[in-house]
Amino acid sequence: MPEAPDHSALAEWRQRLAQARSVCVLTGAGMSAESGIPTFRDALTGLWSRFDPARLASVEGFRADPGLVWDWYAERRAGVRAAQPNAGHRALAAFARRRPGVLTLVTQNVDDLHQRAGNRDTIRLHGDILQDRWLEPCGMACDPARAEPGRPPRCVACGGLVRPGVVWFGESLPPAALQHAEHAARHCEVLLVVGTSGAVWPAAGLAAAARRAGAHVAIVNPSASEIDAEAHVCLRGTAAILLPALLD
Ligand code: NAD
């Protein structure tokens, strides 16, 4: 049972956020949990729980069984398309509209709920689940959208496979996105970390980087995370409840 958020801490952080000239928010899978998108751990406890994450989210796993991985992503893509932004996504979008230039939003999420809520310039560290790309660069420079349908689709010219446009275990993050996120973490007055277990690096390191650079760091999560020690406060509650309370 999560602890109830402390009301004096909420009021203090609400004021700090209202006055800050630069705010960075880092979100993880818990941000979209109340939109019905399973967190990483939840996703692994369902139908697919008998599979090792390394088989579902790595190049090696994809090469070993492309159909299995494609089907797992097809199910997750359908879930993302059916989901709607929640009150937490909407509170972040409204904050950005009200205070132009103050918020840098960085997400580990591969869904598009921040964008659909209105945060079009969200920095995406782990890619976009709704995008397709080639497993290997296509020798014929074909567009993955024109691949021959299948599980997964293939290039009609070279036979290359299409894969989802997400960052898998063992892959590097898009360098420009990571640089932008690190810069925002090191230069913000307040870093809000929402709905992440803090187990996936280098994203998890942004909290320590911000704190070392002098930012005030708050975590919003109903449960403990691996980076709680980096925060000045851990606000125990969910994104859809606490973000409107902090930002509206
Ligand atoms: P995680 O699954 O490891 O951790 C989720 C965290 O969210 C947990 O700490 C949990 O306590 C917290 N949480 C659960 N419900 C919450 C709520 N309503 N409000 C606030 N917090 C809540 O997720 P992660 O740390 O983001 O790392 C897993 C990786 O999986 C990431 O790289 C991410 O790209 C990927 N992923 C993305 C999505 C998505 O795009 N929506 C979904 C699942 C996994």
pLDDT over threshold 60, residue 218: yes
- Based on the structure, what is the number of domains in the chain? 2
Kindly state whether residues 192 and 243 are assigned to the same domain. Answer: yes
Q: What is the pLDDT of residue 2?
A: 46
Query: Is the dihedral angle over the CA atoms 240, 245, 247, 248 positive or is it negative?
Result: positive
When pLDDT is averaged across residues 146-159 and rounded to a whole number, the result is 92
Summarize pLDDT for 226-244 with one digit per residue, the tens.
999 999 999 999 999 999 9
Query: For the residues 211-226, what does the mean pLDDT come to?
Result: 97
Same domain, 246 and 188: yes
**pLDDT on residue 90:** 98
pLDDT value of position 243: 98
**Are 72 and 137 part of one and the same domain?**
yes
Domain containing 178 — which CATH number? 3.40.50.1220
Please check whether residues 69 and 20 belong to one and the same domain. no
- Give the residue with greater pLDDT, 102 vs 142: 102
Q: What's the CA angle centered on 105, arms 186 and 208, to 5 degrees?
A: 35
The reported pLDDT for the residue numbered 202 is 95
Alpha carbon of 230 to ligand 1 centroid (Å): 18
User: Is the alpha carbon torsion for 44, 227, 106, 217 positive or negative?
Assistant: positive
Report the C-alpha gap between 76 and 57 in whole angstroms: 12
Which parts of the chain fold into alpha helices (H)? 7-19, 40-43, 53-56, 59-64, 66-82, 87-98, 113-117, 175-187, 205-212, 239-247
Pocket of ligand 1 from Cβ distances under 6 Å: 28-30, 32-34, 37, 39-41, 43, 108-111, 126, 194-197, 199-200, 220-223, 225, 238-239
Provide the residue range defining the domain that includes 152.
38-82+130-166
Tens digits of residue pLDDT in 100-133:
999 999 999 999 999 999 999 999 999 999 999 9
Q: What is the pLDDT of residue 5?
A: 67
From 148, 166, 184, the end of a domain falls on 166
Digit-coded pLDDT (tens) for 14-48 = 999 999 999 999 999 999 999 999 998 777 666 56
Per annotation, catalytic residue among 7, 89, 114, 126: 126
Per-residue model confidence (pLDDT) at position 1: 40
Query: Please, are residues 113 and 35 in contact by the beta-carbon 8 Å criterion?
Result: yes
Measured between alpha carbons, how far is 105 from 153 in angstroms, rounded to an integer?
33
